[in-house]
Amino acid sequence: MRIEPHSLGTGQRAPIGLALGGGVARGWAHIGAMRALIEAGIKPDIIAGTSIGAIVGAAYLSGKLDVLEKWARSLTQRKMMGYMDVRWGGSGLMRGERLARVLNHYMGDVNIEDLDRKFAAVTCDLRTGYEVWLQRGPIVPAIRASYALPGAFEPVKVDGRFMIDGALVNPVPVSACRALGAHMVIAVSLNGDAFGPMGTSHELDMDDDGEEDDTDPFGIASHSLNKLRPDRLLLKSMLGGVKPGKSPKIGSVMMGTLNIVMDRISRSRLAGDPPDVFVAPRIGHIGMLEFTKADELIERGYAAMQHEIPLIRSVMDVLSQMPSAVPLADAETPPQNASTK
């Protein structure tokens, strides 16, 4: 690609990229971060999302952020269990079809190339290990591929390739934003205090559904029998809590391992390609499976982004006056659904 110096000129804004990082349940903080940007009148031109960051980014660009926020705030332990469609003998603990139905209900008719701004869902090719930026096609399979955590969800087949969670290769996709044309990148990392205080749990409270009606004997019986279903027992054995001092269960080990991997890779990637503004909500005390804590996560994401708004405006002002390297009119555009080593 050939480039030449170009001044944006007074009053022209540098293209803004927003990199939304992965972090499982902690990703609800992205909703709050988006709310702070909207309130400040700052509109990203490019969004790249990894894992749950892809979900929030896609919801925002398709006009469904309100719907996603309402759904996230409504989640209870019982509802969460309802979305866990256990697959016996498959390539993942869950098929992911129940969650996909929710996404398809609201965004099933959306194609990435039809969005009014650039979007990339970051995922990973299971066979090659290459990082892949999905930038065309139906948006739901793209975001499913981005959050397909190995062991938890089955890999998602896109263009003949099996894709897994993008957090394994690029937890906070600053590089994708820059490749898509962003002159300024705001990065929201969910690993700023990845390990939080001692005792942070990455387990599910399988016994507290929070909705049982103790006045209805039939409801109590049904609730008790439901807990004895084979799929519920399997989930409890893998994801349920343990007594203090006991060995963690496999779900907690998986989430703790992902936490470590994302923290180490994020540090390396961000050192090589730092964002212009780094936003890190203080959410390390919340476990990666605590999807029912949307209220607190959204509030903390909002507060973290709001705190950085003055810096964002300052960087925008500076960049609008600086010469920038931009592609010539006849230059090649970044490849769609591109892979990087």
Helix (H, G, I), strand (E, B) or coil at 275: coil
Task: Estimate to the nearest angstrom the gap between the alpha carbon of 330 and the chain centroid.
Answer: 34
| CA separation, residue 7 to residues 14, 181, 322 (Å) | 10, 15, 6
Output DSSP code: residue 117. S
Active-site residues: which are they? 51, 165
Please give the helix or strand (H or E) that residue 304 lies within, else none. Answer: helix 294-320
- What's 132-176 look like in SS3? EEECCCEHHHHHHHHCCCCEEECCEEECCEEEEEHHHCCCCCHHH
Cα gap 39→243, rounded to integer Å: 44
Report the greatest alpha carbon distance in the chain. Answer: 75
Cα gap 184→275, rounded to integer Å: 8
Cα gap 126→171, rounded to integer Å: 16
Cα gap 101→73, rounded to integer Å: 18
Cα gap 12→127, rounded to integer Å: 43
CB atoms within 10 A of CB 58: 28
